Structure 1
Amino acid sequence: MPALEPQYMTILKKVLADRFVPFLPPLLGQANPADQAAKQISRAFSAFALHKLLGLAPKDAAATVVDDFNDKGIDAIYYHAPTETLYLLQTKLKESEQFKQDEAQSFCTGIRLLLKQDFTGFNANVLNRKTEIEGVLDACSHIRLVVPYTGDGVSQSAIDAMQVLLDDDDLDEERLEKQVQYYTAAEIVRDLLAEQAYRPVHTEIALQKHAKVESPRATYYGIARLADLVALHRTHDKALYERNIRYFLGSRSDVNKAIKTTLRDDPGSFFYLNNGVTAVCDEIEPKGKNPNNGLRKFKVRGLSIINGAQTVASAAEFVAQHPDSNIDDAKVMLTLIKAPADGPFGKRVTKARNHQNPVQTANFASLDENQERLRQEIAHLGYTYHYRPEAAATGSTAISLDEALRVQASQQDDPRYAVWLKSEPARLANPESAEYQALFPATLSGVALVNAVLCHREIRKLVVDYEQKAAARSLEKLIYRHALHVITAVMMKRLRQRIGAAVAIDGAAIPGLISQPLDQLRQQTFDLGQQRLLGEGPLAYFRNQGSVAGFLAALMETHFALTADPVLPNLRNINNATDAYPRKRLLDYLSGKAQQL
């Protein structure tokens, strides 16, 4: 079983430090500040595990921790009264090490002493709770051993050591559960990401004049009150549109203006002027019917509006802006389809229903599960990732899908990406294209994307500044403008180690890190441009794949100080038509030689 990946370890330690360490019992031993901080993080892991496994509040979970010197291998003790279960934990917060035999034996020794109520040699954290522990040992019906760990598994010798304890008839303790509960790296990742996931919408919806389609998917459709959908929006916000390809785009669009105008002037006609709303849900259960108005209620679980987000959100904004307005007469056709939104059929319905509207291909990236994972990871780092179009995607901590596409493209060794960014950016945004899939592999972490964005922003800012300071209508100005993606691609190669780190970069430190080498790269780009752009305009030149491949190779050779490299003469002569992109072997070699900043 794989260990917790470094980027998730970074997130976990931040959560431990922020939420649990402040509530831990004081450390008993004396240590230097650095060791003390690391020990506190390690102790807090027990509290985190109980918080996730049993739903304890962070403060209550931290109070269970006895981990310290002389803890006899027991890191936390907690009694769950509703199930009469005593939980005994030993945790291991290590990035790669397995839970080993000596740790298991220590845990077993502590358990034997505790069950005999022999508190000799236990630390003050345990002794301070002696009366409490004696009471729960008398009252509990179950005793469960829990081993949370972040490494790559539990050694067989550790499993064997704990099994000896569980099979020991002389212990005379039938309340001891025969299976150890493990809390693994995979479960830790699941729970960390779940913190940033939108909660599923479970609610009731009323339909008038409803009808049902039985096959191939259970579907109900009928007339819904727009005010009911507005109420759902106000309660659940983005969670209501979790599988929609877009969030609310704001009041500036003509469609959203028209929606508000109708609600203001003629809400009774709304039904006839609107295309309706489509939603998918995990479960639909018909409930009672009102004989006076024909309204039947439906209990729905996992509701997600996949078409009509602008209708509902615009109406909600109108009501918020005009609290005295009355939209009770506004009705809308609502279709409820029983299909998991994240399943293949739900995605197919989303695509089909939205292809009928003027949407961009990039909007369908919202159906990519990888994008939602990135959003959740990035949220832990204090940034918001808006992979669905929405009006709120602004500010220094906001990252849009468009920006992420440009940033990821700038890191590719393939020179065609620099050309596509300039001439065909839409091909990168198609989720079904090979180009898009290369930019967003399952291995891309949220912290790597954030680091790349921060670096890319500073590089772009400086290059734009070079262009603005160059003389008007000069060749220098035009080179900086049209070679922007080439310059960025070269500099991003020098930042790969920092981008790939498991911790977020300090954005304030980036300008000082890159300003001198980027200025050198600027001059080298201009010099090379003067040599190569003979009679050809920069715009046309940097839109040509062959030109850009040659230019990139020459620029990297100069900037990375590789002109005397003995390998290059042979590589320069290789341009195999079967390679994935022009001058692949030469460009890959040069990219790999980038000196890291």
Structure 2
Amino acid sequence: MSKLHVGYVRKAIEERFTGLIDMTDQARLSDEKQHQAFLSRGLAALAVQIEHPCSDRAAAVSVFDGQDDRGLDSIAVELRSVQPRICLVQAKWSDQGKGGFGEAEVHKMIQGLNLMLDRHFSKFNSRFQPFVPDIERAYEVGTPKITLVLALMRTAPISQDVRELLEEKVAELNQVEEMVEYKILDLRDFHRAILGDAAAPRIDAKVRLDGFVQESTPYKALYGTMTVPDLADLYGEHRRGLFARNIRDSLDLTDVNIKIRNTLLEQPEHFWYFSNGITMLCETIKPVGKAVPGKVGDFQLTGASVVNGAQTVSAIHRAYTADPDTAQYGRVMVRLISLEDCPPGFGDHVTTTTNTQNPIEERDFKSLDSGQVQLRDDFALLLHLSYVIKRGETTPEPEHGCSMAEAAEALAATSPNAQLAAVAKRDQNLAGLWEDETYQEIFGPAPSAFRVWRCVQLLREVRTQLQALRDGLLWRADAAAFYGDLLVTHIVFRRLNTRSIEDPEYDWAAELAKVPDLVRDTLAWSLTAIDEEYGKTSHIIAAVRNTERIERVVRAALRGLDSGRNAPALEDNYQVTAAETRGRQVNAVTTLIAKGRIPDGTVLEYRPYSKPERRDMTEWLAEDPKRSRATWSNDGGRYPLQWHADEEWYSPSGLAREMRRLASGVSSSVQGTLRWFVPGEGSLDELALAVRLEEGLDTGDESAGD
């Protein structure tokens, strides 16, 4: 492809996004540099549209490129799917079609993702902040599938060194489960995207079917077996254009996709038996040479499109690319349907029908287990509660019962085997718990309704207490309270008196009354154990989902609880109140003005600091960008900030209080220097502390005055 095609993409970006993408932070650049920055941001917006179809305006809003973008340029969060998806884009524009992407960009991108996973949201700029609530909701629904998209205006592949570094970093993030993938979109992808429907012209291809069978009534169709190398080559040549008529495209990172790849790389000879196969619609199907049913036949296809099995095709290509020597032995059943003599709309009906059948899951088989049926009856007869065992049935209100899935999760958390809590935490569908051996360990031969219900009650109470604590927690502590619910439940259960848990007359309410204090102490000991065992830069999510790590954390936390010592105090930067107090120890405004650290006229950004603030203020701030901006003056004394929303002068804390009041009606004392940021440099609190450390000044308690 040539500069001509680059020009087509440039024109599309200019037509779609001029006036929509925020370029106010680039106003001081020359016109040429501004336009180059606009094209790069437009490319990031276009990448979002490719991955998550949306309007031009929504795509433009997704761009947060600029200072404090942390190596990421745009974002899309999908909450409507069964498993949340987060798309993070870094874009590189080039008029010559040679957009560069090196090792430095890899490190920046991964650093940004790590900050996001650790909930260090205030490290990102104000254009990123409106997406934080959706990110948090994605975390709360379950483990999101995260796609790192390299949007590069180039056709040449990235260097092998960069690819290896990227794969190494992604592998580190996927130590517990395959949560993160990367994808490269190049000039070909963007050119196809701007052409829209015309980007998927009729795909003509020759395919070979082994042992094919032909159907002629009422419509022409063929089915047979294709080899993995042939399918991988077909995808490699036509890429996503092969899925033009498919409803879901290839959904690149899903549990199904991962299992397909793993089967090909571990048991390629079994792939034909385990795969549901692929369905392709074709305008015409013509034999090439002599084609004898039951033998090998070559066929020329026109207007071909995979309408079911896009995940299979995509996974085959990835597996074959990763290890062709192993994957080459795989085969898959392929069905070809000719639309030559079909009535209008028949192809669309095939596409819709083949993509809306619900697959049978392992959990569905467990609902037939006699032990589950007995539990359902015992819940009704002994507890007067509902116990739902089939998918699709209405889950009862919490006070009226629970589902088999919730029971399995609670029993995994309270099992003597801490590893089961990690297994349960890995997958929102609890897939690992339904495997025969694990299922038997969790429920046993004859599960007691009293034990099951009381374990469910405990898990619910632990989660309630952790949720209450989270409003006062920051960063790793907040992540530990969120991700560590099953870990904390496991430890709390082991500290309770559970010997009579199956006794109908047992006073379980008295044990549950101990939970609030135990949860608080357990969280503190667990976080301390994670920090000491794996370091303060380790991912909390790995500690609670890795079977080896969770056992070590449990042992360390139990030693602390059993020692009789008070629970360790959380670090100041893990707690809202402690951070506020620390912020008042240094008169940041006086320090910064005396040093002249911030030039007059610098525009500062407000970023919500705690979970309650994000909940109360994010939407309000997004309604008017002026609300997040203030201009600094060294002549303002105690009131150095001129708020863009009303042009009045405030202290950082006074303005933060007023903003919170206007947004939510809440009037509270807050430390504004933790919330007002100089883009690209840090918060006022961080800048003031750095100044005092440079000068060797005492950082003891002073009058706040800010």
Structure-2-length-normalised TM-score: 0.27
Structure label with greater radius of gyration: 1
Structure-1-length-normalised TM-score: 0.32
